[in-house]
């Protein structure tokens, strides 16, 4: 029999709250974390809005800001969320260091891209570009430590050192599905006995000229610059793209008997995990929801459940035309007629899209939904789309019994992850 895995600690640093209680309060009140971009001058970009983490410092987690000044933005977010989760769990000291691991889904930090951008501008002045000169300037001017800090695996390495986690240490980067996949794979490690506890989640910050340029070129971002708080509108007929966000969310996963013996507070059990690939196009989901449907079915089977067990679905729900339509189709194909009876909401309508950190954030939302028996809303839902015809909990939170939840995460490249979490 596979070992059971439960969540005993949670933490977050997001645009809508820098602790789980703050995030949950703002979600249930239907607030938006979207505003004008301040991390760089976006005045000449098609998209001038983002969901930034504001008014937060690593010092809030009792860490020395000077010590962390050179570290990537993603690493600082990860450290803040992880410290909350580990403190909440109380697992440190209750598990052997070799039995405590870290599994993250973290993206690049982009800390030193400003210096690179300035070099590129200088190199292009006069209309000519000399590669040799550009390379020499880079070797002379760029900080090698800052370059190292941008690597996606840096947060996992730092967290291992912070908490003396000497067990498995892994980072996966499957775009928007990354932190959900990290949690699913960390769960499997505990199930098979490779660890007794895992710190897992994700961190990312792409609110930078390079990140925004890439998504603008893909026509993936909302350009509703005149009304930022209404820009992210999943499943609404007038949606025009997602809003780029940033942050980190972490959970402590623990083997159930281990957690029970030490009297840990248990938020819920990771009962089901599904992972598939669309095997279609890099930027488009399969139009018939092939991979997504299979993924949902796989997670339900892993949990030993039928669709009727699920009482709330946290959708991937990005606010892009194709994603929302295909996810709706996938839920209907997996759930049948029950799809019209289960509440489905997208909290990206409020947080924006945290990319690699999105899935972990949304799993925490599911855990809070069970704790408080409340389905958070999909805000900015004003005009129904005939292709999106489910119950999206429009505009106001709903108090209902919730003991079993399902969370979807779908990433560029065709990755699909579904997690089923249940109350214990």
Catalytically active residues, by annotation: 176, 316, 353
Going by C-alpha positions, the residue among 170, 219, 164, 158 that lies closest to residue 194 is 170
Burial class (CB in 10 A: 0-12, 13-18, 19+), 67: exposed
Coil, strand, or helix at residue 291? helix
Q: Please compute Rg for the chain using Cα positions.
A: 21
Two structure tokens written together for 214 = 């890439």
Q: How many Cβ atoms are within 10 Å of 416's Cβ, its own excluded?
A: 32
Two structure tokens written together for 345 = 């909401």
Distance (Å, whole) CA 212 – CA 329: 29
Q: How many Cβ atoms are within 10 Å of 193's Cβ, its own excluded?
A: 11
Distance (Å, whole) CA 43 – CA 32: 22
Instruction: For residue 57, give the DSSP letter.
Output: -
CA distances from 220 to 33, 214, 323 (A): 19, 9, 10
Give me the residue label for tokens 């400003």.
114
Going by C-alpha positions, the residue among 37, 74, 370, 22 that lies closest to residue 222 is 37
CB 285 within 8 A of CB 410: yes
Coil, strand, or helix at residue 418? strand
Going by C-alpha positions, the residue among 136, 2, 6 that lies closest to residue 424 is 6
Going by C-alpha positions, the residue among 404, 418, 393 that lies closest to residue 289 is 418
Distance (Å, whole) CA 305 – CA 135: 57
For 266, phi and psi rounded to 5 degrees? Answer: -110, 120
Going by C-alpha positions, the residue among 177, 119, 148 that lies closest to residue 415 is 177
Going by C-alpha positions, the residue among 419, 406, 252, 239 that lies closest to residue 339 is 406
Instruction: For residue 150, give the DSSP letter.
Output: T
């Amino acid at each position: 029999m596979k070992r059971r895995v439960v969540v005993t600690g949670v933490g977050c640093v997001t645009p809508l709250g820098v602790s789980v209680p703050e995030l949950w309060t703002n979600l249930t009140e239907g607030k938006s974390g979207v505003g004008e971009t301040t991390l760089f001058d976006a005045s000449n970009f098609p998209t001038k809005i983002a969901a930034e983490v504001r008014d937060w410092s690593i010092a809030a987690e009792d860490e020395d800001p000077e010590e962390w000044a050179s570290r990537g933005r993603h690493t600082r977010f990860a450290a803040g969320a992880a410290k909350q989760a580990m403190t909440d769990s109380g697992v440190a000291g209750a598990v052997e260091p070799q039995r405590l691991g870290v599994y993250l889904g973290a993206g690049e930090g982009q800390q030193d891209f400003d210096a690179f951008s300035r070099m590129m501008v200088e190199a292009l002045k006069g209309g000519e570009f000399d590669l040799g000169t550009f390379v020499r300037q880079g070797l002379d001017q760029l900080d090698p430590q800052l370059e190292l800090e941008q690597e996606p695996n840096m947060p996992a390495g730092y967290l291992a050192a912070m908490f003396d986690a000497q067990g498995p240490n892994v980072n996966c980067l499957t775009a928007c599905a990354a932190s959900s996949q990290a949690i699913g794979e960390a769960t499997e490690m505990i199930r098979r006995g490779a660890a007794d506890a895992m710190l897992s989640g994700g961190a990312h910050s792409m609110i930078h000229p390079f990140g925004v340029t890439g998504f603008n070129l893909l026509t993936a971002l909302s350009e509703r610059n005149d009304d930022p708080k209404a820009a992210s509108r999943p499943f609404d007929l007038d949606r025009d793209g997602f809003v780029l966000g940033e942050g980190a969310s972490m959970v402590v996963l623990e083997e159930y008997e281990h957690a029970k013996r030490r009297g840990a507070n248990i938020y819920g059990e990771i009962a089901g995990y599904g992972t598939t690939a669309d095997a279609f196009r890099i930027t488009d989901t399969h139009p018939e929801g092939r991979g997504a449907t299979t993924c949902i079915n796989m997670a339900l089977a892993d949990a030993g459940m039928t669709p009727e067990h699920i009482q709330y679905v946290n959708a991937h729900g990005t606010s892009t035309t194709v994603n929302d339509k295909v996810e709706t189709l996938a839920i209907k194909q997996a759930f049948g007629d029950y799809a019209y009876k289960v509440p489905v909401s997208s909290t990206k309508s409020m947080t924006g899209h945290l990319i690699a950190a999105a899935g972990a954030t949304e799993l925490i939302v599911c855990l809070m939904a069970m704790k408080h028996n409340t389905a958070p809303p999909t805000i900015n839902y004003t005009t129904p789309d005939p292709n999106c015809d489910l119950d999206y909990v429009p505009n106001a939170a709903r108090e209902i019994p919730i003991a079993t939840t399902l969370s979807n995460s779908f990433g560029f490249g065709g990755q699909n992850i579904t997690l089923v979490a249940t109350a214990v």
